[in-house]
Amino acid sequence: MWFKNLTVYRFNKPFSVDTESMEKSLEDFTFSPCSSQDISKFGFSKALGKHGDSLVHTAADRHLICATKEEKILPAQVIKEALEDKVALLEAEDGRKMAKKEKDALKDEIIITLLPRAFSRRSQIRALILPEIQMILVDSSSAAKSEELMALLRKAIGTLPIIPISFKTPIETQLTEWLKEGKTPAAFEMQDEAELKSDSDEGGIVRFKQQDLTENEVLAHIEVGKQVHKLALHFGQSIAFLLQSDAAIKRLKFSEEFRAGNDDVGDEDPMARLDADFALMGSELIALVNSVVDALGGLEDSI
């Protein structure tokens, strides 16, 4: 339930979500396990897992969705060895070298043969659709995986006018200024981790962890032209996170004090607790994203 990373998209056209219609649309793309011959399967699953019964969980006009992916694990070395053995056998039988096209076709056959015996692994990815701020927050540190979920959602509902979040001023410019001045906007507090990069290929990368970022050792790198591309921050008393120059927000960690805000709900009714946590998390993520946008000088105008 509690998001750990944020890849943020914004709608470039006004967008509203009809929960009932979206639920029906997602049903056509529901996750099903891999068959013996499937390499992977990807589809929507219950938003709240085993405690829920819908693909879209909605509260206060905020919509949570979840997709599950199952992948067959076929180590490349296993395929390589099986292919080499088969090629050697056939070449010996035919008394000639096999052409690349023949080897490629044989490799496909071997993969099909091995698939029924392959292990599989499953992973899930969630997204929060927020019409009130015209954004979608994906709980993933991978831009590729986030795009995969957005592509599936677009396919299901027919249209999804979104673009990745971007800012008027380069993020690294703002982060560098904060570090240089030793001061962040009021909503944030600088922590003890940063990554600085040089614009030139020869300049390299330097990383600091568990260190006072206002020390001369750190600032000296800014003086020679490096810019801050990752900076650890704390939002109020609720969320620690790492802000990156590509607009990704990673390693979200909600404080124990903040998460305890729903302790009065208890755990006797799992659905009630999940719903309360969803409301608490959603409100704070909206506050976080809005504060980041303000602190970085506003979003780039849509094209």
pLDDT score at 74: 86
C-alpha of 191 from chain center: 23
pLDDT score at 203: 67
pLDDT score at 291: 97
| Phi, psi (rounded to 5 degrees) for 40 | -155, 160
Of residues 299, 1, 25, 19, the one with CA closest to residue 163: 299
How far is the C-alpha of 194 from the C-alpha of 255, rounded, in Å? 21
pLDDT score at 201: 67
How far is the C-alpha of 75 from the C-alpha of 95, rounded, in Å? 30
pLDDT score at 302: 61
pLDDT tens for residues 53-73?
899 999 999 999 999 999 998
Q: What is the pTM of this model?
A: 0.87
Task: Look up tokens 């302790």; give the residue.
Answer: 263
Q: What three-state secondary structure class fits 160?
A: coil
pLDDT score at 37: 86
Q: Is 297 exposed, middle or buried (0-12, 13-18, 19+ CB in 10 A)?
A: middle
Query: CB under 8 Å to 31, separation ≥6 — which residues?
Result: 41, 42, 43, 44, 45, 67, 68, 69, 70
Print pLDDT tens along the chain (303 aa).
799 999 999 999 988 888 999 999 999 999 999 988 888 999 999 999 888 889 999 999 999 999 999 999 888 898 999 899 999 998 898 889 999 999 999 998 998 888 888 889 999 999 999 999 999 999 999 999 999 999 999 999 999 999 999 999 999 999 999 999 999 999 999 999 999 999 876 668 999 999 999 999 999 999 989 999 999 999 999 999 999 999 999 999 999 999 998 888 877 888 888 889 999 999 999 999 999 999 999 998 865
pLDDT score at 262: 85
pLDDT score at 286: 97
Task: Look up tokens 């292990």; give the residue.
Answer: 119
Instruction: Please report the beta strands in the chain, taking only residues with DSSP state E, as ranges in sequence order.
Output: 7-11, 40-45, 56-59, 62-73, 119-130, 135-138, 162-164, 188-197, 205-209, 227-235, 239-244, 249-254
